[in-house]
Amino acid sequence: MTMDRLNNRIRLPDGRLLGYAEYGDPAGKPVFFFHGWPSSRLAARPIDEPAARGARVIAIDRPGIGLSDFKPGRTIGEWPDDVVAVADRLGIDRFAVAGASGGGPYAAVCALKIPERLTIAALISGVAPIEMPGAAAILGQRSQMLFRLARRAPWILRLPLALRVRRARRDPERFLLEWTATMPETDRATLLGPAGIGRQLIEDYIEAFRAGTCGLAWEAGLYMRPWGFRLEEITMEVHLWQGEKDVHIPPAMGRYQASVIPRCRATFWANESHFSLTFSRMDEIVATLISSEPVAVS
CATH of the domain at 160: 3.40.50.1820
Please give the distance of CA 16 from its chain centroid, rounded to a whole number: 21
| 225 within domain boundaries | yes
Q: What is the pTM of this model?
A: 0.94
298 located within any domain: no
Distance of CA 87 to the CA centre of its chain: 18
Quote the domain boundaries for residue 58: 3-291
pLDDT value at residue 134: 84
The answer to whether residues 7 and 60 touch, using CB atoms and an 8 Å cutoff, is: no
112: in domain: yes
pLDDT tens for each residue of 88-113: 999 999 999 999 999 999 999 999 99
CB 208 within 8 A of CB 226: no
pLDDT category at 61 given cuts 50, 70, 90 is very high
At residue 298 the predicted structure's pLDDT band, cuts being 50, 70 and 90, is: very low
List, in sequence order, every residue forming a beta bridge with 266; answer none if it has no partner: 240
Q: Is residue 296 part of a domain?
A: no
Residue 250 lies in a domain: yes
> What is d(CA 288, CA 295) in angstroms, rounded to the nearest whole number?
13
Query: Nearest to residue 68, comparing CAs of 111, 140, 20?
Result: 20
pLDDT digits (tens, 9 = 90+) for 138-197: 766 556 666 667 667 777 888 889 999 999 999 999 999 999 999 999 999 999 999 899
Q: How confident is the model at residue 137, as a pLDDT? A: 72
Number of independent structural domains in the chain = 1
Q: Is residue 226 part of a domain?
A: yes
- Report yes or no on 297 lying in a domain: no
Quick check: 82 and 18 in contact, CB under 8 A?
yes
For helices 158-170 and 197-208, angle between their N-to-C axes, nearest 10 degrees: 140
| DSSP β-ladder status, 118-124 and 238-243 | parallel
